[in-house]
A and B are shown apart, each in its own frame.
Chain A
Amino acid sequence: MAEFLTEADAREVCERVMSHSSADAAQVTLVSGLTRFARYARNEMTVSGDASDAEVTVASTFGQKRAAVTWNDLRDTAVEDAVSRSEELAQLAPDDPETMPPLGPQEYLPSAAFFDSTNELGDEDFVTAVRAVTERASSTDLIAGGFIQTRARSEALLNTAGLFAYHQSTLASHTTTVQTTDGTGSAWAGTTHNDWEQMLPPGELAERAINRARQSVNAVAVDVGAYTVVLEPTAVGNLITLLQAALVARAADEGRSFFSRNGDGNRVGEQVIDERLSVLSDPTDPDLLARPFAADGTPLRHTTWIENGVLQNLEYDRYWASRQGREPLLHGGGIKLTGGEGTVDDLVSTVDRGLLVTRFWYVRPVDHRRLTYTGLTRDGMFLIEDGRIVLPVSNMWFKESIISILNNVESIGSAVRVVASESGGLGVPVVVPPVVVRDFHFTVGSDAIQRSELGDVLGRERESSEVL
């Protein structure tokens, strides 16, 4: 019983939940659908699975008291209990002066994010995709592991002010890591989209990772310090999501953010990054395709956060907007860093001496206020000389401010959609270009991946002709 609720079914459930409410104001949200996955490692499928769920959240408000309860049992008795629990919790809560009345009915932009190609994948399709990678890897004496995840879901929202919102979507991702049997080489590739057909085909994904894995063997250490780097789109995506999280008016206005203006207020109107770069969100953008409303029903539209390097907008939730006399403006609708022209290879060809970075790992904050982060490179770094990749390089730590990175841009390639999350699973739509950045600081070397083999514990049980 896959539980993907249609608009009519979702409305019925939301109304049934709401019928139990006696709060001054309430909001019901409902997320339903089927999530599927397949994992593989050491050139074999390890497990696949699916999970069907429908989860409801009711937020009850009495005056300025509010609380939320989330549950997934839609039977009447469970619904009644959960609504009652949320009201009980709300009435126990102290007044929250930031409580806002529910939003009235809204108009939403259409976002056609549901694709049958993703929804109708069968068990055999997953196995076929996995084998397209593992068989290529094993035939070339390499080891592949990876993860495919898909979901089809609907999201609905109903509140006591008469607002009803509904959106349905699919989403898929496929990531793979290919390693050499001696453990000295490793590379990663990933692809994601709402539409399975618009993703890189599994064989092509495999080829990318295989080629880079071969190139990455026997990496050498280079001196730490400042380098010109070519950041592949995934590496840029790892960083840009952190920038988006900082684009918040309240933190800026309260003096807690990079976007705080010294003395008072925020930096809207100031040049903050390179003038060739713009940052925007748009749930209807065919590259992004996201839910067109925020968690409280606020419509999401095309929003330019940074235009030609100038900070244009910061997020205002409904409370902060009302306090500052502004219209609410919320994150959502993905994130896009506008690009230029050219592929990663094109950018590499412009660099006399530098490093090519595939992606980052364990990116962690050092200084929130300066948007400074530290982290490591992972699964493929290469020395560039005279416009060509000449040598694989050991991973290194970096420490950089995202603002500095986006101010030190030399050139910009074409934007593409990337798997930006470290987990390699489904996430916020992120579209970013590869970039060339000067003075990117690497602080310490790391010999990770060059240290160990994966071992022969499993191999002892196999035919000698089989490749791990």
Chain B
Amino acid sequence: MSRTRREFIKQSTLSAVALGAVGSDWLPKFGYTPQGTMQGAAFKDLCLVALNAARSKRATYADVRIVNKRDQFVAAQEERVSELQDRETFGVGVRALVNGAWGFAASRTVTREECSRIALRAVEQAEVNSEAIRRPVQLARVTAYPDGRWMTPVRRDPFTVRMSDKTELLLEANRVAAAVSAARFVTSSMYFVKVETTFASTDGSIIEQTLYRSYPSMTVTAVATDSSDVASHTSTDIAPMGLGYEHVEAADLPGRATEWAELAVEMLSATAVEPGRYDLIIDPTNLFHTIHETIGRPTELDRALGYEANYAGTSFLAPPETAIGEVRYGPEFMNVIGDRTQRGGLATVGWDDEGVTADSWPIIQDGTFVDYQTTREQATLIAELTGVSRSHGCSFGESWDVAQLQRMPNVSLLPAENDLVLDDLVAATDRGILIKGRGPYSIDQQRYNFQFGAHVCYEVRGGRITRMLKDTAYQGNTLEFWNSLDMLGGARSYQLCGTIGDAKGQPTQLNAASHGCPAARFHDFRVVNTAV
């Protein structure tokens, strides 16, 4: 991968929806001091209490996370505020390694006594668990950060914005949408998360981080005049982001409500798609999700090794010894990175949840699969194959009450070095379908065979959009799909989208990850009509 591509993420001015609100400047990754947070010396002291307790009972490694997580959901349905919820959870979790086996314990009571007690509980469990392991866990080396600090660079903390400003914005958006004839039901919402974590490990790190995520959304449902049909349009072009309230302001729900309502009405009279093979022009608002499912998930090393076989699934990209450097994922101009540094990314952090600095690395290079997503214990398993001995920093625990596991970073398809935008791809297509927005989908547990629906789509004939289609999904398998990629947009068509509800693990934990990509075209791919 050329340096130009590697550095694209950091240098580009991304789309208005994605990062326009915060511009293209980068704050320093480290040394950014959270202001007004509840983290401080007292938490560091409590962390050390837990670590010392674990060490005193033969733990060879332990880490502790004191987490305060606050989220807020505000929703309006037509002319009323339908949800107004604010949740805050605070507690401490300790993970201990004894005889190469893990144990974990957590409590909402964050006192010296309780920190010590749960550390000992984690050790007790690890000791018992070591009777049932076959291979002792080995952790990749990590640099110690005794005073690490990082904060999502937000311009406006969503939790300091007046609630009345939020509800008024939603109700105004609903009023605008409802003014469109046939728009019968309107819902709009805002979701905010703030996670403050103090992390410490027996490897010498003490790290404070404050992360934010913001997600405005709107759905308009139109009903046919004879009530025979309904169609809903959701603002799938507005992504959840690792940003503050400035993302809500930039999304401009009231300003775009009419457009979305009119799309919902138009969807009622869309033409059913004729099944067959088409050139697919896929907008980033749809393609991001396909990247999530067909690249993000199968390149998780724990899946590939069978650790998630009982729920989230395995991976077609296995075993690692025959996959790394061998699997031709797509054309030579296809480059995909794992990344935890991109500004605005949902998975962007200073350090992961076991103290590894945020990384950015190639997953697919010049069309070939080259590396997985890893944590410290996973990195050691494939170091000989990849030549990479450090973790890529993909450890994540949703909150204080769950043990960390490997989770997806931002996984993004890099744009081509050209000036092409979506319209150029349409103009270059004689017989195709333009697909926008995330629709219904289904994919097998190895992330190989799939069906991805469109939220909105259009017939393309002779380089022009001719009419709206409905009930459209593309269907095939991961390698067939990516190898049919024949046109890739440039940086001007790049957009960072993402999802906040990525489920994995037992107990299930929800992760948030962004996926950037340009508009792209896929040659002669299978399309089905989902209504047939």
Contact = CB atoms under 8 A, between A and B. Distances in A.
Interface string A423-447: 1110000000000000000011111
B101 A49 contact: no
A198 B95 CA distance: 32
Contacts of A449: 314, 445-446
Given A42-B307, A52-B109, A397-B442, A451 B448 contact: yes
B88 A70 contact: yes
Contacts of A338: none
Interface stretch (A141-149, A285-293, A295-303, A347-355): A141-149
A422 interface: yes
Given A73-B90, A455-B305, A51 B107 contact: yes
A54 B108 CA distance: 7
A353 B444 CA distance: 25
Nearest to B109: A1
B321 A455 contact: yes
Interface in A49-82: 49-55, 66-73, 82
A363 B89 CA distance: 31
A462 B445 CA distance: 28
A64 to B, nearest CB: 9
Contacts of A262: 227
A127 interface: yes
A340 interface: no
Given A47-B403, A73-B90, A362-B443, A461 B135 contact: yes
A325 interface: no
B194 interface: no
Contacts of B109: 1, 3, 52
B310 A41 contact: yes
Contact of A45 (B101, B108, B448): B101
B426 interface: no
A121 interface: no
Given A147-B311, A365-B440, A454 B306 contact: yes
A35 B104 CA distance: 12
B503 A72 contact: no
Given A52-B108, A53-B91, A94-B167, A68 B84 contact: yes
B interface secondary structure, majority: mixed
B321 A51 contact: no
B86 A67 contact: yes
Interface stretch (A22-30, A85-93, A104-112): A85-93
B509 to A, nearest CB: 10
Contacts of A88: 163
A49 B223 CA distance: 49
A177 interface: yes
Contacts of B223: 255
B319 A453 contact: yes
B401 A45 contact: no
B310 A49 contact: no
A68 B445 CA distance: 38
B315 A452 contact: yes
B444 A448 contact: yes
Interface in B88-138: 88-91, 93, 95, 101-109, 114, 117, 121-122, 124-125, 128-129, 131-135
B449 interface: yes
A18 interface: no
Contacts of A69: 85-88
Nearest to A129: B132
Given A45-B132, A92-B164, A447-B448, A376 B442 contact: yes
Given A70-B87, A362-B443, A462-B134, A143 B531 contact: no
Contacts of B80: 94-98
B451 to A, nearest CB: 7
B317 interface: yes
A448 B506 contact: no
Contacts of A51: 91, 93, 105-107, 400-402
B442 A362 contact: yes
A392 to B, nearest CB: 16
Interface in A354-410: 361-367, 369, 374-376, 378, 395, 397, 399
B445 A378 contact: yes
Contact of B310 (A1, A126, A131, A424): A424
Interface string B123-164: 011001101111100000000000000000000000000111
B250 interface: no
Q: Tell me which of B93, B121, B164, B311 has the highest count of chain A C-beta atoms within 10 A of its own C-beta.
A: B311
A412 to B, nearest CB: 27
A447 B382 CA distance: 26
Contacts of A72: 88-91, 108
A395 B445 CA distance: 10
B309 A41 contact: yes
B333 interface: no
A126 B101 CA distance: 14
Interface in B48-96: 80-82, 84-91, 93, 95
Contacts of A211: none
Interface in B267-308: 304-308
Given A70-B88, A444-B475, A458-B305, A149 B314 contact: no
A455 B319 contact: yes
Contact of A455 (B93, B124, B320): B320
A46 B307 contact: yes
A48 interface: yes
Contacts of B90: 71-73
A3 B87 contact: no
B279 to A, nearest CB: 21
B171 interface: yes
A120 interface: no
B530 interface: yes
Contacts of B84: 66-68, 89-90, 93
B316 interface: yes
B230 interface: yes
Nearest to A363: B442
B445 A361 contact: yes
Interface in A244-263: 254-256, 262-263
A147 B164 contact: no
Nearest to A453: B319
Interface string A135-165: 0000000010111010000000000000000
B508 interface: yes
A447 B305 CA distance: 18
Contacts of B40: none
B421 interface: no
Contacts of B106: 49-52
Contacts of A453: 318-319
B319 A454 contact: yes
A143 B308 CA distance: 12
A43 interface: yes
Contact of A451 (B124, B135, B402, B446): B446
B128 to A, nearest CB: 4
B503 A423 contact: yes
A47 B134 contact: no
B441 interface: yes
A193 interface: no
B381 interface: yes
A42 B445 CA distance: 17
B87 A374 contact: no
A9 interface: no
B501 interface: no
Contacts of A73: 88, 90, 108
A123 interface: yes
B132 A425 contact: no
B102 A47 contact: yes
A186 interface: yes
Contacts of B167: 92-94
Nearest 10 CB-CB pairings of A with B? A455-B319, A49-B104, A448-B444, A51-B401, A147-B506, A446-B449, A45-B132, A67-B84, A51-B106, A70-B87
9 contacts: A3-B108, A52-B108, A53-B401, A68-B84, A89-B86, A183-B314, A443-B528, A446-B448, A452-B314
